[in-house]
Structure 1
Amino acid sequence: MTRLSARDLMTAEVVTVPPATPVLSIARLLADRGISAVPVLDGTGRVLGIVTEADLIRRLAGEADHPASWLASLFANAERDAARYARAHGVTAADVMTTELVSVGPTTPAAEVAQMMEERSIRRVLVLEGGKLLGIVSRADLLRALVAPQNEALELSDDRVRGAVMAAMRKQPWADTFYTLIDVKDGVVELNGFSRSAEVQRALRVLAENVPGVKGVKDKTTPMPAYLYTAV
């Protein structure tokens, strides 16, 4: 997945709605299509916002609103409360949609897309180019990419693979390039020498597995002797 981009991951056939679409029609659309959100586009194809299941639930909950208490009214913000009321009671996509969009470009790496979703606790990002919608990347798309066979596996020389593994190790403060020896044969990385802990051994294996061109990892390291700890 590390070599994939948003364009590779996205669903290109996206169901969209115009801003005047009634809320009830959007709810039926989500249920009939088995989707959880629809972007809202204007007549030129520009993205105005997105209506999600959460927006519709907020709209449903708005019907049960209770008058604010006298104490709460002392700290009311008219502009904020008016916007909240419109979203909670609106009848069209334009009223209830989320306008603070999270988007990426088509060449954004898959790892950055995943990190963005994790940091913002969101389920999807829009893929835009020149303000126009190209597709949507959802968490499901990321999971499919993660488990998909890596047909595009690189064929690199063993020397290049070893150099790439060593370079990756040098970037990590916990990786010991002095007491850990790296050998590569037919794309399979062999770890020899000493390791400080089981956690370091596991991390080294994961690091090597993520280097392009690596076909497998054999960990033959052994725990570092006590006398060597005093020397480092």
Structure 2
Amino acid sequence: MLARDLMTTTPITLPPDLPLAAVARIFAERGISGAPVVDAEGRLLGMVTEGDLVHRLAATERKKPGWLTGLLATAGQQAEQYARLHGRTAADVMTRHLVTAEEDTPVEKIAKALEDRHIRRVPVLRGEVLVGVVSRADLIRAVMAPPAEPAGVAADDERIRRDLRQAMRGQAWIDAFYIFPDVRDGVVMFHGWCRNEEVKRGLRVLAEGIPGVKGVQVMVEKPPLPVLSP
């Protein structure tokens, strides 16, 4: 399996001049912990994570660097650190030196990079342009994929799963932590928890809009306390 087989092809991205308050709001509203920073042409510039925001917030409690730090670090390094701790935009605090992959990079290599570097996501590039992101969650889904089925059925079901996951990511009203889709012989089955009947109806309509779907079963249940659901 390659990066192109499981990457998120429409990840949330940030413009470099986006204020940090807006970055934090996007993370909270979309339930994500990091996002790539790209320019107007889609070229990858860096990555902002929750850790970067916390690091900046903690800067107010940091003491002034000692003389030894000033002696060992170059002026450029000190300036970059200052900008990351006191900057106001995504470009100021983003990590610029990233582990990246190409579309044909094996997922095993990506998994090793995530493990070795203690990171949560790897941007996928075509040249310098961002075309997707592979996260730990994507790798877990690959590990938990169902056993192989007859070639024609399995290929079509996997294509529907991929299209459905992509469609779900684009809808803020879907809580992916509590709603789990599966596809068998073209039939979409939603499992999990949800209190809201409108969300159930929306799930059915969304799934019915995926080409090749033969039926939809929304089998979500009312969540046990203290699980919250839209």
In structure 1, the partner of 2:47 is: 50
Cα separation, 2, equivalents of 1:13 and 1:71: 45
Cα separation, 1, equivalents of 2:126 and 2:73: 39
Alignment pair present for 1:144 and 2:144: no
Cα separation, 1, equivalents of 2:78 and 2:15: 25
TM-score with structure 1 setting the length: 0.61
Residue 42 of structure 1 aligns with an amino acid whose one-letter code is D
Alignment pair present for 1:131 and 2:128: yes
TM-superposed CA distance for 1:77, in Å, is 3.4
Give every structure 1 segment of 4 or more consecutive aligned residues whose post-TM-superposition deviation is greater than 3 Å. 69-77
Name stretches of at least 5 consecutive residues in structure 2 with no aligned partner.
152-230
In structure 2, the partner of 1:208 is: none
Residue 37 of structure 1 aligns with an amino acid whose one-letter code is G
CA spacing shift, 1:67–1:145, aligned 2, 3 Å: same
Residue 128 of structure 1 aligns with an amino acid whose one-letter code is L
Q: What do you get for the CA RMSD once the two structures are aligned?
A: 1.8
CA spacing shift, 1:48–1:73, aligned 2, 3 Å: closer
Q: Is the 8 A contact 1:87 1:97 kept in 2?
A: yes
Residue 101 of structure 2 aligns with an amino acid whose one-letter code is V
TM-score with structure 2 setting the length: 0.61
Q: 1:117 aligns with which of 114, 136, 151?
A: 114
Residue 92 of structure 1 aligns with an amino acid whose one-letter code is T
Residue 41 of structure 1 aligns with an amino acid whose one-letter code is V
Cα separation, 2, equivalents of 1:120 and 1:75: 24
Q: 1:105 aligns with which of 98, 102, 107?
A: 102
TM-superposed CA distance for 1:140, in Å, is 1.1
Cα separation, 2, equivalents of 1:61 and 1:41: 26
TM-superposed CA distance for 1:146, in Å, is 0.2
TM-superposed CA distance for 1:135, in Å, is 0.9
Cα separation, 2, equivalents of 1:36 and 1:7: 22
CA spacing shift, 1:147–1:97, aligned 2, 3 Å: same
Q: 2:89 aligns with which of 80, 83, 92?
A: 92
CA spacing shift, 1:152–1:137, aligned 2, 3 Å: farther
SS in 2 for 1:43: coil
SS in 1 for 2:61: coil
Residue 25 of structure 1 aligns with an amino acid whose one-letter code is A
SS in 2 for 1:63: helix
Q: 2:15 aligns with which of 12, 18, 27?
A: 18
Cα separation, 2, equivalents of 1:36 and 1:95: 18
In structure 2, the partner of 1:59 is: 56
Alignment pair present for 1:33 and 2:30: yes
Cα separation, 2, equivalents of 1:124 and 1:71: 34
CA spacing shift, 1:7–1:71, aligned 2, 3 Å: closer
Cα separation, 2, equivalents of 1:152 and 1:85: 55
SS in 2 for 1:79: helix
TM-superposed CA distance for 1:41, in Å, is 0.9
CA spacing shift, 1:71–1:134, aligned 2, 3 Å: closer
Cα separation, 1, equivalents of 2:118 and 2:38: 24
TM-superposed CA distance for 1:78, in Å, is 2.5
Q: Which has the larger radius of gyration?
A: 1
Cα separation, 2, equivalents of 1:52 and 1:97: 8
TM-superposed CA distance for 1:152, in Å, is 5.7
Name stretches of at least 5 consecutive residues in structure 1 with no aligned partner.
155-232
Cα separation, 2, equivalents of 1:73 and 1:130: 37
Q: Is the 8 A contact 1:63 1:89 kept in 2?
A: no
Tell me the percent identity: 51
